[in-house]
Structure 1
């Protein structure tokens, strides 16, 4: 039986089978499996390798099935290296390999290992044509597979799940969903022409990009929640910070560049989280104790964040607008603050002890700094978004002008 479509030889068949291993999409699930094992702490390499192999067969199934459907059923691809029988042979072989690994995990670890591993194959097999036409499943398919790879890699080592494992899985599920929305934006025109309902087709490219940005934001903030909540190691936010730096640039780029940056950023994110959970570089480092400032501690923090607020408002040229808003808000904040202090809702210890109009002077400053910081962030985002829109409009106008000139010349 010829596996290769264009040649008939053993070497051609091997090349055709290997052609369905796409490293960009294959490596993350395999790395996620080992990341789950790293979160578990001490792990058995043989068990980890067995689970990683199961992930390989699941993703290989997705690649073969996707290529088969796109070329032989939908006619989307111009060529395919495997024959129709070759695709079916590869699918059958991958299914056998996955079944062998999954059943072995069930025997060695327990039935839970089988149950947590099995869904990854169904996600891969049903990706096309069942799951890749719905905006929810086409977005969450690959991220769900990564999340399950993390959970499975952890479970096969420990026989249980912990908040840390679940938390990391959720972080990658949400973050990669944002990446996938932007990835699908590359095929917006074609997907729309064949009524393929991705998020970009359903909402439009610009609203879909905002949804993607929100998912990236909440996924990375989830790292902060997990760290301060005690589930993640102390160095985890550094991984999120590295990804944020890349995401801020990518979210304003055109779809192809944005996808390239975000995928590579996700690799960096996973690698730094692996370092954080395995080596725990910041464990044992004590937070700076600013209480040495004594009664000036609260005032110092307000001056620090007030300086940031002032810088943001100056950048956005919004000092005057912010001043009016803060002035309108101040009487409400003053009464609210006075009442909560009067009835004992909270108490401020590290303060100067000086009061003005019945409340500490620090609280007067607090009622200016907090709304100023909120307005500063809001106005800065608005300014950056406006600059991006103007740049896009100018690029479109330049492109139209070039096309027009070309047409007139012709």
Structure 2
């Protein structure tokens, strides 16, 4: 099967090359024959037939890539008829040489070898039957012809091998490029999802707290209390909003730090983790919900990605409690074992699992747990609602940050 050829980088196409080569070979053969006509004479009929054969042999070269074997047969047949007939002995044989090389280069190796052998046998047979020992080609020339034909076939075969190798290299390079692009797109998608999840957790939690704190203050002020009580309520609400927004800005800067330019300084804000759990619980308490914490097992330092994942699960769960559960109290339990860390958040709210799941980020929490080889469940209980997560300590996966 012929390898595909294509013009690129400004190089001429295969058809243009064939046309140019055909014209060059035709010009050489015609010029040689015209010069030979000055020194030799032959009947007009032989001359006309000779020129016709020259036209057929040279013209056939234009189709050598599309029909390599057929062109080789035609040029061989033309040469076989031309040389015994014509007295001018021009270089028409070069058309067969090019056709034989092309047949081998286009993958028709067996046919090229067969044509070469046929040519040698035909020449040998013709020379052996010359009358009176009047040979046109001596033994040395016959061996040179054999070497010439073998060289043409071998060079064509080598060119075929080189073309196939270059084609394979090109295909591998294209495949590698496509794979690299796919990996880059996949990495970019994962990074966008990670950043989106971080922003959802940070902003969703803080804005929810600010909304609850502001609503509570407005509710109290709507009862038109005494000026001093109203001022105290407003101050408490504003202090809570200030603290919450400050923490939100800190975490937002840390999250957006991954988007900084290479020459910018790395963010210096501490990464959120379970060591900041007290701050998180205190902000949730400012909304009027009684939040308690409990630790089981022996606390231990956690890898930063795992520590952040556990923190975010608690953060998002408390956000759901303040926004959806209509709860009065919540209990955050952190349990350490040799194999994993378990996080559980129980509340006494009246919302169902479906109500809390809508827009609550439970899917994001589940994705965080799954990224580390863990699992997360969210379900109704007899007393309210529970979120439970298990994060193995032996597997640190994903690109959590």
Which range, TM-score by smaller chain? under 0.3
Of Structure 1 and Structure 2, which has the larger fraction of its residues in helix?
A: 1
TM-score normalised per structure 1: 0.23
User: Quick one: higher RCO (CA 8 Å, sep 6+), 1 or 2?
Assistant: 1
Higher gyration radius (CA): 2
Structure-2-length-normalised TM-score: 0.23
